[in-house]
């Protein structure tokens, strides 16, 4: 396995759930992290506990400049960028006619454009160095579809398609592109549609730390191999 000590990783959606757990898991392996999200106070709380191994950037993934500021912060603070975890995303439950135009547009913008912009910010540095890793957090819904979440599933399929294209475009430049496809994971994201914190179904879900461990493992794999799609679900989850 590759040693991640000193590696610099930018993470979008690092203020909660899978992104926050990934930041902690990566720092536990000796990596340095640049954290991006809108809720800066949450990011700063992580920075305060990081022992100088994290930097926070208030950014919205819908804004290309926000992604460039995240990458710039990694370069300015830690002197480089080795990997990007494009994790920020939102979901909404409901049939195709149940959700508002505004909610669907927001979801498509955050989940699709909000994956493209951070990648476009990071790739020039990876190309310059001839080395880099991109990990996209999609979903099982991005492989199998999902009932009551058709548009969400479409955004997650879009991420898988983006990764497939980028793998072909960037592999021979020593830039790996991996997609992580979790099933139900007990984060704030998993609330809604009648779910409340502490309810039994949530206890059966995977934990954000489980997904963070997968992201760490992908980055630890030797550069002689690459992960394409890693899909995972709780042992209890079915449909
Ligand atoms: N939880 C699940 O069951 C599950 C299953 C499969 C896949 N996923 C995927 O996992 C990823 C992370 O989800 P999670 O479960 O960890 O959810 P979460 O706990 O709700 O965290 C979502 C993160 O995304 C950030 N974010 C949302 N909109 C943003 C924006 N416009 N700009 C910047 N950051 C934004 C949030 O930060 P701010 O609000 O502070 O900006 C937060 O840090 C998502 O892509 C999701 O689709 C989740």
Kindly report the CATH number assigned to the domain that includes residue 195.
3.40.50.720
Strands 83-86 and 54-58, how do they pair?
unpaired
Q: Which atom of ligand 1 is nearest to the CA of 91?
A: 47
Domain assignment present for 2: no
Q: Which of 182, 205, 204, 212 is nearest to 85 (CA)?
A: 212
All residues at 6 or more sequence positions from 238 whose CB lies less than 8 Å from its CB, including other chains: none
Helix ranges, the chain (H): 17-28, 40-48, 64-78, 101-108, 114-129, 141-144, 150-170, 200-203, 208-220
Domain assignment present for 206: yes
Phi, psi of 200 (to 5 degrees): -60, -45
Domain assignment present for 148: yes
Show pLDDT as tens, one digit a residue, over the chain (239 residues). 999 999 999 999 999 999 999 999 999 999 999 999 999 999 999 999 999 999 999 999 999 999 999 999 999 999 999 999 999 999 998 999 999 999 999 999 999 999 999 999 999 999 999 999 999 999 999 999 998 999 999 999 999 999 999 999 999 999 999 999 999 999 988 876 566 776 766 788 999 999 999 999 999 999 999 999 999 999 998 87
Token pair 């995240």 in the structure block, residue: 70
- What was the pLDDT predicted at 217? 98
C-beta atoms surrounding 189 within 10 Å? 16
CB of 110 closer than 6 angstroms to any ligand 1 atom: yes
> Domain count of the chain?
1
- Residue to probe by mutation, ligand 1, list 11, 17, 181, most atoms within 8 Å of CB: 17
Q: Using CA positions, which residue lies closest to atom 31 of ligand 1? A: 60
Domain assignment present for 3: no
Its pTM stands at 0.97
For residue 180, report the distance from its CA to the centre of ligand 1, in Å: 13
- What was the pLDDT predicted at 33? 99
CB of 192 closer than 6 angstroms to any ligand 1 atom: no
- What was the pLDDT predicted at 198? 67
Domain range enclosing 177: 8-232
For residue 12, report the distance from its CA to the centre of ligand 1, in Å: 9
Domain assignment present for 35: yes
For residue 189, report the distance from its CA to the centre of ligand 1, in Å: 6
Burial of 193 (0-12, 13-18, 19+ CB in 10 A): exposed
Domain assignment present for 84: yes
Domain assignment present for 215: yes
Domain assignment present for 238: no
CB of 75 closer than 6 angstroms to any ligand 1 atom: no
Distance CA 116, CA 109 (A): 10
For residue 121, report the distance from its CA to the centre of ligand 1, in Å: 19
């Amino acid at each position: 396995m590759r040693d991640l000590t000193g590696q610099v990783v930018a993470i979008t959606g690092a203020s909660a759930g899978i992104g926050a757990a990934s930041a902690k898991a990566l720092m536990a392996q000796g990596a340095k992290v640049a954290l991006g999200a809108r809720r800066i106070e949450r990011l700063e709380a992580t920075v305060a506990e990081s022992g100088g191994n994290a930097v926070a950037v208030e950014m919205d993934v819908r804004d290309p400049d926000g992604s460039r500021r995240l990458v710039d912060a990694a370069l300015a603070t830690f002197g480089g960028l080795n990997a990007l975890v494009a994790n920020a995303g939102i979901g909404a439950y409901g049939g195709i006619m149940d959700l508002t135009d505004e909610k669907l547009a927001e979801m498509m913008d955050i989940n699709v454009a909000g994956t493209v912009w951070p990648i476009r910010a990071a790739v020039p540095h990876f190309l310059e160095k001839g080395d880099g890793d991109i990990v996209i957090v999609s979903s099982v819904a991005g492989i199998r579809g999902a009932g009551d979440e058709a548009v969400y599933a479409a955004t997650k399929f879009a991420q898988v398609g983006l990764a497939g294209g980028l793998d072909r475009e960037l592999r021979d430049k020593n830039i790996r592109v991996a997609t992580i496809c979790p099933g139900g994971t007990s984060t704030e994201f998993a609330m809604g549609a009648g779910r409340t914190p502490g309810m039994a179904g949530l206890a059966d879900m995977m934990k954000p730390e489980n997904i963070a461990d997968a992201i760490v493992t992908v980055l630890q794999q030797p550069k002689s191999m690459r992960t394409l799609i890693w899909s995972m679900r709780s042992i209890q989850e079915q449909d």
